[in-house]
Amino acid sequence: MKVAILGYDHSVDDKRVFRTVKTLSKYHDVVYVYRQDESKKEIEEELKREYPHIEFVPIVLKERSPRGIYTFDKENVEAVIESDADVWYLHTAPDTRPLQLFTEGKRRGKRIIYDSHELVPYNWIAGATRKVHFVDRIRRLIAWDILYTQVTLSDCVIDTSYARLVYWLHRLHLRKFRNYLVLPNLAEYSIDISIDSKENIFAFVGSTRRNIDITLIKKVHDLTGWRFVYVSSSPDSILDSIPWITYHEVMKYDEMMQFLSKAMFSIIAYEAPYGQEMNYYLALPHKFFDSLAAGTPVIVGDRFIEMKAFTKKWNVGYVSSEVTATILDEYEKLLSNVKMHQSYFTWNDRWEKNLLCCLEV
């Protein structure tokens, strides 16, 4: 079987996208369509050498202008169609052609897998309307109709979060829809750690800095005296003005996991930008599972519904409102629970089989 995997605006090494590429390439011929990033040319060449059986199809986004995006979208759609694959695995849909691959795929008798990284109505071309609220509300209504069509034309829909899946199923009145699968953003592997390997730091990791909850950071520091280290693509002038806070540039995955394994806690608490609230609050991001797989308890924001539920279910950390002077009293218990449940936080054969089932007719 031949599978065309559309990464669209994701770079060649995107964690979630490339996991499906390398997993499915074990069993099927794979054509991988993705956005070529000049800053990742070296990584791209390494992946081509490591996976010579995968057909890499880079698409260049020449400029982020309406004309540039239109051309980019057109080339992405054409690449998938010209692949002549039996299965079209879409990690997202082109912004200016959100339905074309779904309708064209059905017309051509293709099996369509839709892996939704984001909640479409809160994400689709949101940057263009976010500053004008009434226009943004109209855009969102249109986006819900688009999502309904995308879902009903798909043979299998994949989401990263249970809570988000339930939310859009109810919102679209598709409660009887059963062709779905939840594949969380699981870690690549786990690290066996002990309390002796921990350092007096707490951390935030993420390629995007986001609006980190400074009040929570100061509270944890006041209670413990620990330093705070944040890993991001760019420093923050407000955070950098505080002497016990340190910035670190983005790390490679293995280095990041080792760094996380030494932290006492991983902070996952930040403000969602306007219009993106549900995308953030229903999410299960990579940093949540990476932190736990690295053997580090988490402190998650109160509004993060899904992460909050899992944190309480497994007793592997705190919700931000629960952080008190007793934060260290049960630390060894938290660490023990993290180690006990680490198999839930990592990608394994069970998840691989679930993904392969989506391709079956």
**Mean pLDDT for the stretch of residues 54-81:** 96
Percent of the chain with pLDDT over 70: 99
CA dist., res. 105 & res. 328, Å (int):
55
Q: Assign domain 2-183+347-359 to a CATH class.
A: alpha beta
**DSSP 8-state symbol, 12:** T
CA dist., res. 235 & res. 311, Å (int):
28
CA dist., res. 341 & res. 345, Å (int):
7
pLDDT in tens, 127-155: 777 778 788 889 889 999 999 999 999 99
Residue 209 has pLDDT above 70, yes or no: no
DSSP string, 65-104: SHHHHHHHHHHHHHHHHHTT-SEEEESS--TT-TTHHHHH
Rounded to a whole number, what is the distance in angstroms from the first to the last CA of the chain?
Answer: 12
What per-residue confidence (pLDDT) applies to 119? 86
**Mean pLDDT for the stretch of residues 307-313:** 95
What per-residue confidence (pLDDT) applies to 85? 97
> In this structure, how many other beta carbons lie within 10 angstroms of the beta carbon of residue 329?
9
CA dist., res. 231 & res. 239, Å (int):
12
**CATH number of the domain located at residue range(s) 195-344 in this protein:** 3.40.50.2000
Residue 361 has pLDDT above 70, yes or no: no
CA dist., res. 92 & res. 259, Å (int):
31
Which amino acid would we find at residue 167?
A: Y
Radius of gyration for the chain, computed over Cα atoms and rounded to the nearest angstrom: 21
- Mean pLDDT value across the chain: 93
> Are the C-beta atoms of 160 and 181 separated by less than 8 Å?
no
> Are the C-beta atoms of 33 and 60 separated by less than 8 Å?
no
CA distances from 222 to 42, 244, 264, 269 (A): 43, 11, 15, 17
What per-residue confidence (pLDDT) applies to 142? 94
Tokens in use for 58? 């880079």
Phi/psi region, residue 125 (left: phi>0; alpha: psi -120 to 50; beta: rest), is: left
> In this structure, how many other beta carbons lie within 10 angstroms of the beta carbon of residue 265?
25
Percent of the chain with pLDDT over 90: 78
What per-residue confidence (pLDDT) applies to 187? 97
Q: Is 67 exposed, middle or buried (0-12, 13-18, 19+ CB in 10 A)?
A: exposed
Residue 160 has pLDDT above 80, yes or no: yes
Where in the chain is CATH 3.40.50.2000? 2-183+347-359, 195-344
CA dist., res. 76 & res. 58, Å (int):
9
